[in-house]
Structure 1
Amino acid sequence: MNPQTEPETPIFGSPKSLRSFDDGQGKTTTLMMLAGLETPTSGRILLDDVPIEGIPPHRRNIGVVFQNYALFPHMTVAENLAYPLKARRMAKLEIGKRVKRALDMVKLASLGERRPAQLSGGQQQRVALARALVFEPSVVLLDEPLGALDRQLRETMQLELKQLHSETSVTMIYVTHDQGEAMTMSDRVAVFHDGHLLQCAPPKQLYDEPESAFVAEFVGENNRLSGTLVSRDGEGGSIQTNAGMMVAARLGQQVRIGDKVLLYVRPERASIGAAAANCENRFEARVADTIFQGDHTRLRIDFPGSSHFTVKQNFFAETAPPVVGDRVQLGWSAQALQVVQA
């Protein structure tokens, strides 16, 4: 987890922060193994290239922030922050300096003498984060720390966490089941499924270049078609869908002629009407439903191979959205198409 080097095992070594989501897939168990609160049955955990699986939790130099904050109710805010420093037997003067610096960092300098019960949820979250940072850990583990906050406060705290992370440059491993939160805050996102790490990549790469059908369907919204690769030329190729249509696509190295494949098109990357005129892939289609959603209109499109294809038309599009029953041109570019093996 050295911020200056790229680790061999992505799950244990993000340069900045690493996120994963979906429930019951092993995220918190992984976090607990990193913290030393669970013991791995096999494998190794490296911190700065040093194995730590045999090191007790209090000697790993890892900070932890839990969803329920786990603050000591009988202690003041300052005493909560001082606790991990006293456990490390630091000098009283140094403890005072670090506590003051941590309180300033989370904008709670005037609340050091209050107890947790006298604080709001957002303030308690800041105290828990400050306590995890006060002893200058190598890594901070956060297990859904914003889950107990309401939406508006959660969004505010997301921005504050990003800023704090930028200021401290400490590696943060953050567990969440909220995709929007993961995509908004992360340098890299890890997707877990059934205890396996399926993909670990920057948010944009994860969204644009999923490596499996699960990631393509789980991250964001996607339209799916099925077919067979019939030809390829370098990074491009032609796919015949199960409905008999020929589709031009950008291909990964792992896809070979004759392979059964799944094709994905994001709703915002499909076009209709005049906007589809220059797309490599164009088809006759019918508008089955429209839903106005403020900044865009969602269109459900029927065409061969799909009866629930979704298109997002920007509110500021040059042409008015079609109405139910209209026959339209539906199109997308080869670059917009994501292809994975079935």
Structure 2
Amino acid sequence: MAILNYVNPFHIFREFVRNPIEAFVLHQYLGYKKKTEDGINNVKELLYRAGIISVFVTAILWVSIFMYVVFYYTYMPNVTHMRPVHLQFKSCDEQMGLCSFPSAHVQLTKYSQMLMSAQPYRVRLVLDMPESPINKELGMFMVCAQMRAKGGVLVSSSCRSAMLRHRSCLHEFIRTVVFSPLLLSGVNEERQQLHVELFSDFEDDQNLPVTDAYVELQSRHAQIYACELQIEAHFTGLRYCMYHYPKLSAAIGISTNLFFVSLIFILSWYHLQDGLPDFVKSKFGDIKTETDPDDEKKFLKKVKLERTDSSMFFDDESLMEELKHMDEPKKT
């Protein structure tokens, strides 16, 4: 009966053809399955790490940008403050014209301080004057200003001279002919703007911050359409670079913040890594703890003495293996 089994073609086919093919196919299938699972796990791990890194990089970048924006708006003052000046005067009863100098009170701010301390400012008065015969014959006149703190305390005062720019008769004739269409249509007018610089480097005092300005034109014959007080910051040093080169300054500032924030983050990460849970440590790799060589030598000597007393065979390699197995729970 056993002989018949060996010569049975079905048995021979099953033992030498079908079973080897099934084993080979199963082995290949399991191998590809394991490789696929390992590949999927590797991709998941890679995506996980990439996601965490991208989140931290994005957070560090936004923190750097936020720090630069806060520093910019804290360190840089407003460039220009403009206030309209409404001139007032005392009119004459007996004759036509002004019986007092035109003056105005300009309230710069209702709060305690508008200008930044230790920052130079240029204070100028812009006069919009018509080119009338009276203004042309007026010549020079004085413009005075006083900067006062809260309660009317005088901080600084200044007086500057001003006058219309001279134009010859030929210049006036040619200009009138050329601009006659614009003058007739009302697009252009015969006027001049005088920029009178009252303070070149005015610095506000932190103890007496300026809140009001008083302007006076010391001429009763000056004809003025309107005037405006301009306070412009005069930047120097770092503020000059940040104002005139904003893109370069932003790139340097954000890069500097990014470097220091990244350095602080990396040092904090390595400092706090020992206190992380085990499942978090396993995501980023095992953390190896260094052992003191002196403690290891003392332990080897102690084990040798114990084995010598018990008359056991030992060698250094076996002791090192035991040490390795004893340290494995600590490394996980």
Fold shared per TM-score above 0.5: no
Greater gyration radius: 2
TM (norm. structure 2) is: 0.17
Say which structure, 1 or 2, has more relative contact order (CA 8 Å, 6+ apart). 2
Higher relative strand content = 1
TM superposition score normalised by structure 1: 0.17
- Structure 1 or 2: more helix by fraction: 2
